[in-house]
Amino acid sequence: MPDPYLYPNTNVLINKFDIQDAKRLSEVENDLVYIKLFEVDDFMQDLSFDTAGLKALHHYLFEDIYDWAGNFRTINIFKIERVIPGKSVEYGDHTQLQRLLDAAFFDLDETRWDELSKEARAKVFSRMFARIWQIHPFREGNTRTVTTFMLGYANRHGITIDGSLLSKYNAYVRESLVMASIGEYSEYEHLEKIILDAMGDADGSETDATEEATEQYAKINEYEVKDYYYRQFETDK
């Protein structure tokens, strides 16, 4: 079955600019989202941290380039990952996205953050972050949307997280989310590490921006994060 989101016989997403070159589209998309992120704090002031809020945020970030911004994908997707060689994360079935997200946000709302230590907060936050990310409700833009959403949620609930650290090492964050989303073989420690480090100033300390810190985000197991490059999602045939 052809992917309805792509121009025929290409791997390029149909877009409002009719750009049919994948590299050029990626550049334009990144520029437009970058501009939106400058004002995202104002947008999120009244955002509800639930399924409707996540859809609204995705629409805000991607409305200038995709007609389907803010809408759930209507197909199943997969992507072969180098960090889990030859395999893909099992993303949420497109017919179950609403149910999966509603269940995740219900559990998120039940969390008593004020009763948790910083270490426990990092652990619970990382697992909820990965759970929501794994659902991957949109055809494109899931990592940027979910990361921004979770940082906004943290701020709303008094959880101090240095978003600039996650932005600087975004490839490490993305690959850590993959490693935390492989079922019984999930490795949460990579994501928990950077989340805990990003919480550094919550107790008066500062996040580590040294060369040594850069090195510790360069690898996940034996995989060189710096070797990551974007791959288009594929669809179930």
The per-residue pLDDT for range 77-88, each reduced to its tens digit, is 998 888 888 899
Decide: 198 and 170 in contact? Cβ < 8 Å.
no
Q: Which tens digit of pLDDT belongs to each residue from 202-229?
A: 455 555 555 566 788 988 888 888 655 4
pLDDT at 76 over 80: yes
Q: Residues 6 or more apart from 58 whose CB is under 8 A from it? A: 69, 70, 137, 138, 141, 145
Q: Is the pLDDT at 201 greater than 80, yes or no? A: no
Q: Are 175 and 220 in contact (CB under 8 A)?
A: yes
What per-residue confidence (pLDDT) applies to 237?
39
pLDDT for position 94: 98
**CATH fold of the domain at 22-235:** Fic-like fold (1.10.3290)
**Residues 6-12, mean pLDDT to the nearest whole number:** 95
pLDDT for the residue numbered 210: 52
Report pTM.
0.91
**Average of per-residue pLDDT values in the chain:** 90
Neighbours of 113 (CB within 10 A): 14
Lowest mean per-residue pLDDT among 24-28, 36-40, 224-228: 224-228
Dump pLDDT digits (tens) for 166-196.
999 999 999 999 999 999 999 999 999 999 9
Hey, what are 82's tokens? 């180098």
